[in-house]
Amino acid sequence: MPRGIVYLVGAGPGDAGLLTLKGLVCIQEADVVVYDRLVNSRILMHARPEAELVFAGKSPEGHTLTQDAINGLLAARAGEGLTVARLKGGDPFVFGRGGEEAEYLAERGIPFEVVPGVTSAVAAPAYAGIPLTHRDFTASVAVITGNEDPTKDETAIAWDKLSTGAGTIVFLMGMANLPDIVARLVRHGRAGSTPVAVIRWGTLPEQETVEGTLDDIVERVRAAGLKNPAVIVVGEVCRMRPHLRWFEQKPLFGRRILVTRSREQASALSERIARLGGEALEFPTIAIRPPDDYGPLDLAISEIDTYQWIVFTSVNGVDYFFNRFRELERDIRELGPARLCAIGPRTRDALVGRGLKVAYIPEEYRAERIADGMGALLAPGERVLLPRADIAPSDLAEALTRAGAAVSDVTAYRTVAVGGNAAPVRRLLAEGRVHAVTFTSSSTVRNFVGALGAEDLPSLLARSAVICIGPVTAQTARELGLKVAAVAREYTIDGLVQAVREYFGGSEGVA
C-alpha cells in the first residue's frame, strides 16, 4: 500500500483570500480534509467533491474531537495511504497545537509537511488599521496566549517582564480572561492609559473592533457584548487606527455575497466583490460543458461563408464556437463576409481579443431590442448564426426571424446543473450570515432552488437580499417563490455589482 501523507496547513485568519497558494494545492489534492471551527467554509469548497470532510472544531463550550482523537485520525487516514489536509485556523505552529500533531506523526514514522498560514495575530490588527510596529511608537512585538489562567500560582508568562518589555502585546484566545490580563499588565507596570483594541472576527465581514485603554477596555467590551473569537492588541500603535482603518471604509464591508454562477466564470464577479470589501462565497449551481452532439454546430461551421451575421450572446459562446472552429482545422479567414454582433461588453472583448471586429453591440440586452437594432442592418432573408447554450430561451431567435432573418440557432455549449456541498451554504443562510444572493441567469436560479430545496427556502433567505442580473432572471426567481430585492439596470457583471453596491448604500462607480 502506498504511504499517505499529512499536510498541516494554516488556513489563515478567516478571509479566504489569505489562504496561501501552497495551502490551496494541498486542499485540492487531499483525500481527507480535517478542519477546525474557524476555517472559512469557502476554503472547504476547494476540496474535491469526493474528499472526506471531517469537522474537528473546538470552542470554549466544548470539543467535537479531543486532541488525542484528532491525532489518531490523522495517523489512521495517512496509514491507509491517503493524503490528509489538516486545516488549522491561522498558522498551525502559532498556538495551533500543530507542533503536537507533527510530533505525534513523527513518532510513528508518518510523513508530514507544515504549510505556514497567516496568523490572526498579524492579520486581524492589519484589517483593523493597526500596524504592530511603527517607528514612531515601537520596535518590538510579543504574541501571547490569552488562554492561560493568569490567576494560577505558577504562570508560564513572565508578566513582570512582558508588561513593560514589549511595545506591542497581542493576546490570542483571551476574551474569557480579559479582566485578569488587564489587571496583570497594570499591576506589573503598564500604564492604565495605554491604548487597547479588541478585534472580533478579524478579516471577515463580521469584523468588529472595540477601542479603549487598559483602564476602561473591560467595561467597553462588556457593553459591546464582544465575545470569542477575538484578538487583543495592547500598545501605542492602536492610536493609528483612526487614520488607517482601510477595510471598514470599503463600500461592501461587512457584506457576504453568494455567487451562484459557474466555477469557470465566478472569479470575475468574486474579484469585484472583494475589491469593494465584501466577501464572495462561491456556490456554483451550473457548469459549462461541450454539446452532446456537435453535428448542428459542425454543419453551421462547414457553411460559415454563407452567413451574413454571427450573433454571440456570451463569452462562453465565443470560446466554445472558436474552440470547435479550431478543432475542425478551419481558418479564421473563412468567416468571410459575416459580420459579428456581441451582446455585452465582455462578449465584445472576447471577440476583439481574437483579433475580430464587432459590427454591432445592442444598447439593451433584451431580445426585442436586439432584433430592433439589427433589423435596421439586416437585409431580408440574410442568414444569421446564433451559437449559444442549449437551454437559451427562444425569444431572440424568434425576434430575429420576425425581423426578416433566416436564423440557425445551434448549441455551442451546454449548461448543466451541479450540486456541490450545500450544507455550508444552508448553515450560513440560516445564521443570517449571507447578506445577498446573486443570480446571473435563470438556470442559476433554478439550480440553486434545486440544490437547497424549495420547501424552507423563503425562511432561509429571509435575511438575504436576492439580486438579479436582469429582468428575465428576476422573473424566474419570482416564479420560484423568491423575493427579488434588486435588479441590475445594465445586464452585465459590472451592472450586477453596481446593483449590489447601490442596494447596500454605495452608489459610486464600481472600482
Q: Where does CATH 3.40.50.10090 sit in the chain?
A: 256-286+418-503, 293-414
* CATH annotation of 256-286+418-503: 3.40.50.10090
Q: Where does CATH 3.30.950.10 sit in the chain?
A: 122-249
**Alpha carbon distance 413, 387 (integer Å):** 8
**Alpha carbon distance 66, 475 (integer Å):** 50
pLDDT tens profile 433-458: 999 999 998 999 999 999 888 788 88
Q: Which three cell numbers stand for residue 211?
A: 477601542
What is residue 74's three-state secondary structure? Answer: helix
**Alpha carbon distance 189, 324 (integer Å):** 74
**Alpha carbon distance 377, 339 (integer Å):** 10
* CATH annotation of 122-249: 3.30.950.10
For residue 434, give every residue at least 6 positions away whose Cβ sits within 8 Å of its Cβ, in sequence order, or none.
256, 257, 258, 281, 425, 428, 463, 464
Percent share of the chain, pLDDT over 90:
69
pLDDT band at residue 80 under the 50/70/90 scheme: very high
Does the domain spanning 5-118 belong to CATH 3.40.1010.10?
yes
**Alpha carbon distance 350, 115 (integer Å):** 38
Sheet holding 141-145, edge to edge: 141-145, 168-172, 230-234, 195-200, 208-213
Q: Where does CATH 3.40.1010.10 sit in the chain?
A: 5-118
pLDDT value for 474? 95
The yes-or-no verdict on residue 294 having pLDDT over 90 is yes
Cβ pair 468, 439 in contact under 8 A: yes
pLDDT band at residue 508 under the 50/70/90 scheme: very low
Q: Which three cell numbers stand for residue 13?
A: 485568519
pLDDT value for 226? 94
Does the domain spanning 293-414 belong to CATH 3.40.50.10090?
yes
pLDDT band at residue 374 under the 50/70/90 scheme: confident
472, amino acid identity: V
Strands (E), 11-89: 32-35, 52-55, 58-59, 62-63, 83-88
Q: Which is nearest to 503 in space by CA: 312, 331, 232, 257?
A: 257
Confirm whether pTM is higher than 0.75.
Answer: yes
pLDDT tens profile 96-124: 899 999 999 999 999 999 999 999 999 99
pLDDT band at residue 418 under the 50/70/90 scheme: confident
**Alpha carbon distance 174, 178 (integer Å):** 6
pLDDT tens profile 146-174: 987 555 667 889 999 999 999 999 999 99
**Alpha carbon distance 199, 170 (integer Å):** 11
Which residues are annotated as catalytic?
36, 58, 173
